[in-house]
Amino acid sequence: MRRKRLALGCTLVLMAAGLAWAQKEKSLDSGKKAGLYAELAQAPEKARARRNPLESDPDALPAGRKLFERHCAQCHGETGEGTKKAPSLRAPEVLGATPGTLFWVMTNGVVRSGMPVWSKLPEAQRWQIVRFVKSLGPAPPVKPEPTSPPR
Partner 1 sequence: MGSSSRISLRILPTCAFALFLAHSLAAQERPYFITYNHYLEEPGTLEVSLNSTFGTQRAANRFFSYWTEFEYGVNAWWTTEFYLDGQSTIHDSTIFTGYRWENRFRPLKREHWINPVLYVEFENINGADRTLLEVVGHDTEADSAEINGDARKERKREIELKLLLSSSFKGWNLSENIIAEKNLTSSPWEFGYALGASRPLALKASAKRCNLCRENFAAGVEMYGGLGDRYRFGLKDTSHYLAPLLAWNFPSGTSLRVSPGFGLNGNSHRFLLRWSISREFSGFGSAVRRLFAERP
Contacts with partner 1, residue ranges (CB under 8 A): 1, 4-5, 8, 12, 15, 19, 22-23, 25, 54, 59, 62-64, 66-67, 70-71, 74, 85, 107-117, 119-125, 128
Q: Quick one: 91 or 115, whose CB is closer to partner 1?
A: 115
**CB of residue 90 vs partner 1: minimum separation in angstroms?**
21
Of 111, 107, 102, the residue nearest 136 (C-alpha): 102
Q: Which residues contact 133 (CB under 8 A, 6 or more apart)?
A: 64, 68, 80, 89, 94, 102
Minimum distance of partner 1 from residue 59's CB (angstroms): 4
Task: Return the number of the residue (34 or 117) whose C-beta is nearest partner 1.
Answer: 117
- Among residues 95 and 108, whose Cβ is nearest to partner 1? 108
